[in-house]
């Protein structure tokens, strides 16, 4: 996916509507520990083969990871493919700090790892 483009479109977590379905590009263990309840999970490593699973009706497509680095790379890639993607600044760490909902699929209290 190339180098990180620091000029990718980005928004703060407060700008992500409650009805949005963010694209979470973290790995399976990170997702299981804690994620946004409405998120779509496609790890960055699987994106190219699963790109057809991206919602066609969401503009913009909010992309999120742990802190914003991986998602910035994904946004740069998706923008090159014609997707209206934006990076969620600060990632799931900022999401949780802002008090946005987090759920887990594993045992224990949801956490961002």
Catalytic residue annotation:
65
SS3 26: coil
- Tokens 């991986």 map to which residue? 70
CB 67 within 8 A of CB 86: no
DSSP 8-state class, residue 18: T
Question: For residue 106, what is the enclosing H or E element?
Answer: none
Which residues, listed in sequence order, are joined to residue 61 by a DSSP beta bridge?
85
62 φ, ψ (degrees, to nearest 5):
-80, 125
């Amino acid at each position: 996916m190339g180098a990180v483009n620091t000029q990718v479109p980005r928004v703060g977590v407060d700008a992500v509507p409650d009805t949005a379905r963010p694209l979470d590009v973290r790995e399976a263990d990170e997702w299981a520990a804690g994620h946004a309840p409405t998120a779509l999970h496609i790890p960055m490593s699987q994106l190219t083969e699963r790109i057809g699973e991206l919602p066609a009706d969401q503009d913009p497509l909010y992309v999120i990871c742990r802190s914003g680095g991986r998602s910035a790379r994904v946004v740069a890639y998706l923008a090159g493919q014609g997707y209206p993607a934006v990076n969620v600044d600060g990632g799931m760490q900022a999401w949780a700090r802002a008090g946005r909902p987090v759920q887990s699929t594993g045992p224990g209290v949801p956490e961002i790892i």
